[in-house]
Amino acid sequence: MTTQHFDVLIIGSGLAGLTAALRLAPTHRVAVITKRSATDGASGWAQGGIAAVLGQDDSFANHVDDTLVAGAGLCDEDATRFVVEQAPGAIAWLLELGVNFSGQDGALHLTREGGHSHRRIVHAADATGAAVQKVMVAQVRNTPNIQLFENHMLVDLITTHKLGLETDQANRCVGAYALDEVRDEVDVFAAPAVLLATGGAGKVYLYTTNPDTATGDGIAAAWRAGARVANMEFIQFHPTCLYHPHAKSFLISEAVRGEGGQLRLPDSIGGTRFMPEHDERAELAPRDVVARAIDFEMKRHGVDCVYLDISHQTPAFLEEHFPTIKARCMELGIDISQQAIPVVPAAHYTCGGVVADLHGRTDLVGLYAIGETSYSGLHGANRLASNSLLECMVYATAAALDIQQASSFETHALPAWDDSRVVDADEAVVISHNWHELRQFMWDYVGIVRTNKRLERAAHRIALLQAEIDEFYANFHVTRDLLELRNLVQTADLIVQCAQQRLESRGLHYSRDYPEQLQQAVPTILKP
């Protein structure tokens, strides 16, 4: 076991974490820990792009209004305006780093996605996240003041109150314990400033577009440390995840509908286009509307999926704009220039998270939350497409600036991880069984459509799982599987608690028991 000392500890290597690291490197010694490789997070999976006002016919006011409408009355207007106004600068910074966005003759190509009134999505074909991530990881690896620790899984945050220090003072985060999977030992990372950039919690559901790393680690750890969380009931289900037995979590980008893709029923029941019956914006309606419409049609007709048809576009157009989607579908025997794509909704984005201000600061001194881990107030009850990567960069930059401007941070001597009284687990099957059980009942009971009875059943099962996992955690050596399951169950509990408190239907939270929307929009805030 070792103790590492840094000025700043960043947990997570997605766009938020890497942006913060690069911004801080000129002035601080930075550690970035990530539980797998640096490229295994959700940022690299993002297809669509980054929203920014760059067109002559667009304006900040338009982007703000689109975000507020999509957020169903729950967006924080100050946060929304702050992010939107910083967007062009964020794009300029990525261009300086060398990100190769789509465009011709020096002009960026701007596409349009559901919920946007204008073309404002900067993209790198249909693999924007991968293009950005590749450049940023290379920059981080070549920056002397940044040390990257891969295969390091967050165990828990270390706070002064947990250590019994300064209990009459504000609780302060002073570092973290992390499992080095290669050495199978828990190390101590001491730092007066800690940034949580661990992404969302899509793996709490059976069907998700998220990578396996999206297990709510930062949200759960911050909650255990004493930070508030908010709006966890708002889980965005992306309307169009590829439906195929050999396609795991493959997203069909929002931009396919932005470029004219139409949703249709299976040919066996007429191949009818159905979105105009559900919303006047049809396929360009916000994601919550489209996902509920697909869910409704699938249940009404008893079908396993619906179809997204973009075959009216030329093969050359599809190759230019959607090369990744076209190639993946072709591997599975689907020629999107001739055939419609089978799709289903899947858990996609966590709109709530750890409560953070405009600087990314949480309730704990020295602890910041940025990106999907946080609740910044930007997304409200539903995230507008392509605002997520933007949020990562804007809040990472704001948090870095706040750390750089701080006069000083206190440091503390931290105790080593004590596992002298635990043994190796001999029933790993229990963890895998609990993992599957959790994801199945969350899909069944806390999915696109909810009821009081379903939420009660989920809460009961979560309590049983928590008791089992607490016993495992207390008596056995920690493993990544155990830690991820512990975090997923805690995150599931927060989702259900928030859902039970919202006695209305708004945005991504739809309840059959409370189908109406209340006149006043109020965030759901939980305090440990």
Active-site residue set: 287
- The residue type of 256 is V
What are the CA-CA distances from residue 512 to residues 73, 505, 508 (Å)? 20, 8, 13
Query: What 3 state SS string does 388-421 have?
Result: HHHHHHHHHHHHHHHHHHCCCCCCCCCCCCCCCC
Helix 77-97 and helix 128-141: axis angle, to 10°? Answer: 70
Q: Would you state the structure tokens that stand for residue 526, as one six-digit string?
A: 């939980």
- Closest by Cα among 526, 527, 528, 517 to 74: 517
Q: Report whether 13 contacts 32 (CB < 8 A).
A: yes
Contact 387, 379 (CB under 8 A): yes
Which stretches of 365-501 are DSSP H helices?
A: 388-405, 428-445, 452-475, 480-501
Q: Which long-range contacts (CB under 8 A, 24 or more apart) does 359-362 make?
A: 359/398, 359/399, 359/401, 359/402, 360/195, 360/395, 360/396, 360/398, 360/399, 360/402, 361/399, 361/402, 362/196, 362/222, 362/227, 362/228
